[in-house]
Amino acid sequence: DTAVSQTPKYLVTQMGNDKSIKCEQNLGHDTMYWYKQDSKKFLKIMFSYNNKELIINETVPNRFSPKSPDKAHLNLHINSLELGDSAVYFCASSQVRTGDYNSPLHFGNGTRLTVT
Amino acid sequence: RKEVEQDPGPFNVPEGATVAFNCTYSNSASQSFFWYRQDCRKEPKLLMSVYSSGNEDGRFTAQLNRASQYISLLIRDSKLSDSATYLCVVNGGKYNQGGKLIFGQGTELSVKP
């Protein structure tokens, strides 16, 4: 019973290619996120969606385009991949209560992207 | 100033030691606070939520000081299995920016036999 699942687990590709990462949650949460963890291990928020609506876009290059077909899914498409995009990408979900409080984040097991 | 700031690591301690981690946050309107643990090459996992009155879960005690915008995590009787990176997480506060949860840079703990 995986709560947050993302695929693929590993992605190795060449510069200039386009790739997608998929994420699904079965927790009934209303908010989903993409986080990027770079080589220095710092976890930085990229996007959040609340009930299919984009809420947070943290100055991510527009080569990154999230898509949420429904509140249980949040996919990430990356165009024209660059070396600097190499990182671990984590999908997560949470329940936002009354706009002020969050339930804890539940993470997928990550997608390790390597751009060569 | 970083939105969430943690003690620099690594912390190297012997088994059985007590170790404390500190975290400060910049947004006084933040309402939700958590400690996460991340093992090497794994996803972060919730260790515990942090409540205003402080809370304990076995060997782990979390404290919140809203006036100083400070969160702490105390681990008693350290085990080898406690070796991991500990992440402080704080939300975006009132009107919550859509549930934004911000991570500190993490503090690495290594427990030695």
Query: What is the reported pLDDT for B98?
Result: 53
- Kindly state the average pLDDT of the residues A57-70: 90
Task: State how far the Cα of A73 lies from the Cα of A54, in Å rounded to an integer.
Answer: 13
DSSP at B97 = G
Contact B33, B49 (CB under 8 A): yes
| Chain A positions in Cβ-Cβ contact with residue B103 (cut-off 8 Å) | 35, 42-45
Whether B1 has a pLDDT exceeding 90, the answer reads: no
| Predicted local distance difference test score (pLDDT) of residue A37 | 95
pLDDT at B95 over 70: no
pLDDT class for A57, splitting at 50, 70, 90?
confident
What pLDDT shows up at residue A115?
A: 97
Is the pLDDT at A99 greater than 80? The verdict is no
Q: Which residues of B touch A (CB under 8 A)?
A: 31-32, 34, 36, 38, 42-46, 49, 85, 87, 89, 91, 93-103, 105-106
Predicted local distance difference test score (pLDDT) of residue B64: 96
Q: What is the per-residue pLDDT for A56? A: 81
Q: Is A59 on the interface with B (CB under 8 A)?
A: no
Q: What is the pLDDT of residue B101?
A: 86
Nearest to A29 by CA among A57, A6, A52, A7: A52
Contacts of B23 (CB under 8 A, 6+ apart): B4, B5, B6, B7, B70, B71, B72, B73, B88, B90, B104
Pairing of strands B33-38, B45-49: antiparallel
Q: Which of A100, A101, A107 to mutate to test the interface with B (most CBs of B within 10 A)?
A: A100
Q: Which of B44, B46, B98 shows the shortest C-beta gap to A48?
A: B98
Contacting residues of B for A42, CB less than 8 Å apart: 103, 105-106
